[in-house]
Structure formats: structure tokens, C-alpha cells
Amino acid sequence: MNAIDYLKLSPIVPVVVLDDPEHALPLADALLAGGIDIMEITLRSDAALMSIERIAKDLPDMHVGAGTVLDAQQMSRVRDAGGRFSFSPGISDELLDCAKQQAIPFIPGVATASEVMLAMRHGIAGCKLFPAAAVGGIELLKGFAGPFGAMKFCPTGGISQANMNDYLALPNVVCVGGSWIVPKQRVAESDFGAITGLCKEALGAVR
């Protein structure tokens, strides 16, 4: 599968921060029960890589990858842990070269036309607009549609159930990324049933 294939798996990509790898499998099970089979575990904690490894090994039905990938070393570690793809908040030659050399599906973060053009020069077909709300959101994506008609986006940052359909209605948006369906407090309390409910509610609201 390539990056676009992963982005097309679900209209909502959960953006997950895990502080305890023991939560990894029950959380992945909860997302699957809620109808979502992709998750982005951000490299913002020491538990991230171990969590990715556990899910990749024990729950192959879940397409697990990493977010907040900042350099080639992190990207390689994600691959070694079994992560299927990498999201980054930005774009760099280092990450683009690593993804190409190691054949890792990569979704770079972009916020400007120049960054989209850089991604296109490296054969990238799907980007993460980040932080979406702060850099122009829907209006920026509408502006990108003209000169970059073939580029697809996963806007992340400031996305919620209240505005997700405004983004998903755009022809150049494949999916949205969001953390609202995986609240850290629910994870900390092991309230995974609530997370399943949030997933079902969000998917049911997609138009």
C-alpha cells in the first residue's frame, strides 16, 4: 500500500498520544470496534514506538503508523517497529530522501504552496495540512485546488466533529486527522468503550 491507500482507509485518522504501552492493544481494539482501522501514534512519548510494535505484531487488522516524525532516524525506527507509514508535521529533504530510499509510505506536513511543490517534486501524492486551522484551513485548501489539482490532503490541527464535514466536502481532501475521538483522559482511565462510542458517533456523522 502507498500513502494514499492508507489515507483512504477511513475519513477520520485518529491522532493518538500514548503514555503507557499497555494501553496500545485495547485502544486499537476499541478503534476497530468503532469502525476505524487506521491510527497515527505520535512520537511525543517514550511509549510510542513500543506501542506501535505491539499493535503491528499482535493486531494486524489495525493499520498503525507514526506521527510527529521529525528526522530520518525516527522514520527508520518506526519502520523497524512495524509501523506502516509516517506522518510528519513538516517537510524536509532528509525525510523525503529516507522515505524514498527505504520505501516508507510518507505523508509530510505542509502549510504553503512552496512546500506542496517540494512534495510534488519528490513524487508525493498526499500531504498533511498542518496546523490546518491556523494556516488557513478550508480557504487555503480551496486555493491549493487550482494549481495543485492532483494533490490530496489530510488536514490536521483544529479539526473536530463540528467542522470535519466542511473539510471532507472538499475534492482535494481524502480524510481528516483528529484527536477528539481518542481523548487522553479516556485512555488514561482505560475507558475504551467510550472511545468506541466516539468513533461510531463520528463516522455516523460523516456526510
Residues with catalytic function: 40, 128
Q: Are strands 126-129 and 152-153 parallel, antiparallel or unpaired?
A: parallel
Residue 157 contacts residue 178 (beta carbons within 8 Å): no
φ, ψ dihedrals at 109, nearest 5°: -85, 135
Between the CA of residue 25 and those of 71, 72, 83, 141, 187, what are the distances in Å?
A: 26, 27, 14, 35, 11
Round to the nearest angstrom and report the end-to-end CA distance of the chain: 26
In angstroms, the CA 20 to CA 18 distance is 6
Residue 41 contacts residue 14 (beta carbons within 8 Å): no
In angstroms, the CA 13 to CA 41 distance is 10
In angstroms, the CA 197 to CA 4 distance is 27
